[in-house]
């Protein structure tokens, strides 16, 4: 109930007014049935802008920190994410990936839309980083299509560290659904999972126009920080080839 109030009465109209999102390829999102919407992740604003423009409800796997913050702000944030149906996932520990996959499969098992950011975290510099294979596991086990999505301009309106977004126009672009039925029953094959994930990331890269870096985002960020500490000013193997 609150999800619809927030989307159609409160937050949705406000976001459309402030950011005037250009929406491209919305017809690629299935009107019914389970599917994964896999997107790039440039800004905290992504959590709100994509759901605001979709016709269907979408559930994201949200990091557990959003639900455990201290004080009044923490409680309000947790209440907000719960009210819009987001699922907390603890990203620490060896079982974190399995827990996220299990929760995602429950959403897909109900015939719903699941939103996921394959990079696993926000990009710290606006580039597109290597995807985690959890998205491939869920797509193959559930036998559902993956709709690639690109958020364009959200890094500029709210880069990491900025509390409130600037007013600016953004584009939300969806690509044709990717069908991985040819890999049915192969969700235990690491080579297949990497190939499926890379195909998804390639589609996102083509939609977003981002430079692609064949490293996991946290590893690249750590390498860049180490380079700055050493004083050589170099960046971690940027590269711009497709995965």
Q: Cβ distance 17 to 52 under 8 Å?
A: no
Going from N- to C-terminal start, the domains of the chain cover 19-213
Average pLDDT, the chain: 86
pLDDT category at 239 given cuts 50, 70, 90 is very low
**161-170, 183-192, 206-215: which range is least confident on average?**
161-170
- Backbone φ, ψ for residue 106 (5° rounding): -65, -45
Residue that is written with structure tokens 């109030």 in the block: 5
Average pLDDT over residues 124-129: 96
Q: Round to whole Å and give the CA distance between 147 and 131.
A: 15
**Three-class DSSP category at 129:** strand
Q: Round to whole Å and give the CA distance between 24 and 130.
A: 24
Q: Cβ distance 53 to 45 under 8 Å?
A: no
Report the CATH number of the 19-213 domain: 3.40.1130.10
pTM: 0.86
């Amino acid at each position: 109930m609150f999800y619809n109030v927030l989307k159609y009465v409160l937050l949705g109209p406000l976001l459309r007014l402030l950011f005037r999102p250009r929406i491209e390829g919305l017809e690629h999102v299935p009107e019914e049935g389970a599917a994964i919407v896999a997107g790039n992740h440039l800004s905290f604003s992504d959590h709100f802008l994509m759901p605001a423009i979709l016709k269907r409800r979408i559930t994201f796997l949200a990091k557990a920190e959003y639900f455990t913050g201290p004080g009044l702000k923490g409680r309000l944030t947790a209440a907000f994410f719960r009210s819009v149906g987001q699922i907390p996932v603890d990203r620490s520990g060896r079982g974190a990936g399995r827990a996220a996959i299990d929760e995602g499969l429950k959403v897909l098992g109900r015939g719903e839309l699941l939103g996921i950011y394959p990079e696993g975290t926000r990009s710290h510099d606006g580039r597109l980083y290597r995807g985690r294979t959890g998205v491939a596991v869920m797509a193959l086990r559930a036998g559902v299509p993956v709709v690639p999505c690109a958020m364009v301009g959200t890094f500029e309106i709210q880069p990491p560290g900025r509390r409130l977004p600037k007013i600016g126009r953004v584009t939300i672009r969806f690509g044709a659904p990717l069908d991985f039925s040819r890999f049915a029953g192969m969700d235990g094959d690491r080579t297949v999972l990497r190939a499926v994930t890379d195909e998804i990331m390639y589609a996102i890269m083509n939609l977003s126009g981002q430079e692609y870096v064949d490293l996991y985002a946290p590893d690249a960020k750590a390498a860049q920080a180490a380079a700055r500490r050493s004083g050589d000013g170099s960046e971690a193997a940027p590269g711009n080839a497709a995965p």
